[in-house]
Amino acid sequence: MTTVFVVQHGEKERVPGDPGLTARGRAQAVRAAERLRGEGLRAVYASRLLRARQTAAVVAEAAGLPVRVDARVAERMNWDGRTPFARFAEDWARTTADRDFAPDAGDSSRAAGARFLAFLADMEQRDGPVAVACHGGVTVDLLRTLLGDAAVPAALLRDGVPSGAITTVAGLAVVSVAAVDHLE
């Protein structure tokens, strides 16, 4: 049984497109890396978006590993600025409320959860624990897929996974969700 540490990317710059991490986001990535330092990571993955790759780079450096990019852990939607933010937020809310709604630019919550689940299933065939830096929405989509909607706390559905939080999954079962800002 492979343990997967799902690391929510650190706080990002509040701009459309593919923003990087803020100074606070970089500090969150460092805290996540410190938390994972003794876990014996065998691989570090990230979504293709810069904020996830930057977070993964910090974790990977601490573990002495390269970062591998995997599209299956991409966010269900990413605001690129081509549509007004209000429209993006409306579509995001609709994908959260209706897991089967597929927006014009992105995936449905159900499809995103299924992608992430496929990633986890592949990790079950790997040796040792792995970390994956990705996004709060797709992590919630995964939690909804694994646990069912009723078991996911309303705060996670409403607010998403906190920046820098680590969700631990072992054997396709959720073990914990912990915010790194509160880790010692």
Return the number of other C-beta atoms located less than 10 Å from residue 154's C-beta.
Answer: 7
Rounded Cα distance between 77 and 176, Å, is 25
Is 183 a residue whose pLDDT tops 70? no
What's the confidence (pLDDT) of residue 182? Answer: 45
Torsions phi, psi of 110, nearest 5?
Answer: -65, -45
What's the confidence (pLDDT) of residue 181? Answer: 58
Q: Which residues pair with 174 in a beta bridge?
A: 169
Q: Which amino acid is at 149?
A: D
Rounded Cα distance between 92 and 55, Å, is 23
Q: Which amino acid is at 100?
A: D
What's the confidence (pLDDT) of residue 101? Answer: 98
Chain centroid offset of residue 29 CA: 13
Average of per-residue pLDDT across 65-92: 96
The per-residue b/e assignment along 165-174, b for 16 or more CB within 10 angstroms, e otherwise, is bbbbbeebeb
The pLDDT tens digits of the residues spanning 45-65 come to 999 999 999 999 999 999 999
Is 184 a residue whose pLDDT tops 50? no
What's the confidence (pLDDT) of residue 176? Answer: 66
The pLDDT tens digits of the residues spanning 103-145 come to 998 999 999 999 999 999 999 888 789 999 999 999 999 999 9
What's the confidence (pLDDT) of residue 67? Answer: 98
Task: Tell me how many domains the chain contains.
Answer: 1
The structure's pTM equals 0.93
Is 173 a residue whose pLDDT tops 90? no
Is 7 a residue whose pLDDT tops 80? yes
Mean model confidence pLDDT for the chain: 92
Provide the pLDDT confidence category of residue 78 given band limits of 50, 70 and 90: very high
**Structural domain of residue 148, as residue ranges?**
3-182
Rounded Cα distance between 94 and 107, Å, is 12
Q: What is the dihedral of CA 89, 91, 96, 100, to 10 degrees?
A: -170
For the beta sheet containing 166-170, the strands, ordered from the edge strand earlier in sequence to the opposite edge, are 67-69, 43-46, 130-134, 3-8, 166-170, 173-178
- CATH code for the domain of 77: 3.40.50.1240
